[in-house]
Each structure stands twice: as C-alpha cells, then as structure tokens.
Amino acid sequence: MGAMNTAAVHIDGGCRPTNPGHAGFAAVIVLDGQEFIISRYIGWGSNNVAEVTALIVAVKYAAHLGAEALEVSSDSRFVVEETHGRWRLRSPVLKPLVMEARDLLFRHFPHRWELTWIPRKENVKADYYCGLAIQAGRYQNPWLRRHLKDKSPGKIIDPFARTRDQGSIGA
C-alpha cells in the first residue's frame, strides 16, 4: 500500500474442541514498529463468528491506534471472501457481523485497506494467541456451554462483566 502510517494485521479466530465450541480470537497489529496483541475468549460459538469478530476488533483497535491504512491477513477464506462480497452470505447469525466489519473498514479506512488470505502456516502468531485465549476461557468458565444451551428465559451471565464493572478494559 505504501501509506506512511499503515498497520499490518494478522487475525485468527477459532473454537475447540468442536465447531461450534469454546471460541476465541486474536489480532496481532504492527504499527510504527510496535506490536500490539489482542486476544479474547468469547464463549460458545462457531469458528466463523470468531474469525469475523477478530476482524471487527482489529479494525477498531487499529483505528484507535491512529493507523491511516490497513493491511489485514487472515487464514480464513470465509472472512476474506465474505468481506469482499464475493461469496453470498446466508447465515442470519453471521450477516450482521460481516456487515459491521465492512462498515468499519469503509468508515475508518475508505479505499485504504486490504484483506488477503494467507496459509495457516503464515499466521502462526495470531493462531498461537487465539489458542491461548480459548484455553484460558475454557478453564475460567467451564459451565458456559450449559448456560448458553439453556432455552429457559432468564439472564445469560457474562463471565467478564465483573471485571468491566471494576473499571478494567474489555474488548
């Protein structure tokens, strides 16, 4: 791209041990020689939800850091093709997330962003931090799956709500 203040970003999302499963994401952002790593466990969800969430968070954080252009690399063909609009999006769960990602890209980086697919072996660092987030979340809240599958009306407990109420930064 050649822009002076371009952020290079590697994103990854995943879930374990099944799909859907315990999900998390990671984004590794390099801007002006500094590396910023964001990763988070997001609960029970699909791999595609985690991948799109990684893109959304990465775009928001890169804009917050002051990037003027964005070069995003992902090992998810789904994220790349859906965001570019080359595949037809059918999922009612994924459609609003992909639309949010597109909106953020065009709002914060109009005509100054790239999103390309890379092989998984070139996305090692983002994959590593994604795996750590999922592992930490699985053991921090092992009952989350049961809560999310319960169809009875009531409040779904956010395992991160307590830390946000105490003033720490949440993604």
Give me the domains of the chain, ranges plus CATH numbers: 6-165 (3.30.420.10)
Lowest-pLDDT range of 40-44, 76-80, 92-96, 161-165: 161-165
The per-residue b/e assignment along 7-38, b for 16 or more CB within 10 angstroms, e otherwise, is bbbbbbbbbeeeebbbbbbbbbbebeeeebeb
**What's the maximum distance between 2 C-alpha atoms anywhere in the chain?**
53
pLDDT score recorded for residue 116 = 97
pTM of the model: 0.80
Q: What is the pLDDT of residue 157?
A: 46
Tell me which of 39 and 152 has the higher pLDDT.
39
The predicted structure's pLDDT at residue 158: 47
Task: Give the mean pLDDT of 132-141.
Answer: 84
Q: What is the pLDDT of residue 79?
A: 95
